[in-house]
Amino acid sequence: MIERSPKRSFAARPADPENWIKASDAPSPRESADGGYTARLTIDVTADLRGRIKISAFQRGVTVTEMLRDLLAREFPNTEGDPS
């Protein structure tokens, strides 16, 4: 039988967080509507807020993903000449 290390983690912490954040990710197999690639973003919300978001998306006739992408794009517009 093979022994496993007692300390196993899901992912290692980056040695240099600043460079890790700024580094480009490898292309994802998920392609966005504009031809670029998408990145997954996970947030924690209350069950009540999640329900309100789902109801709002249903009433608008869009998916939660589409609605939240539009909301984030409005809140954080792409600025020409932005160094990031």
The percent of residues above 70 in pLDDT, for the chain, comes to 65
Q: Report helix, strand or coil for 31.
A: strand
The pLDDT confidence band at residue 2, using thresholds 50, 70 and 90, is low
Phi-psi region of 30 (alpha: psi -120 to 50; beta: other; left: phi over 0): beta
CB-based contacts of 45, cutoff 8 Å, min separation 6 = 53
The pLDDT confidence band at residue 13, using thresholds 50, 70 and 90, is confident
Express each pLDDT in 34-67 by its tens digit. Answer: 667 778 899 999 999 999 999 999 999 999 999 9
The pTM is what? 0.53
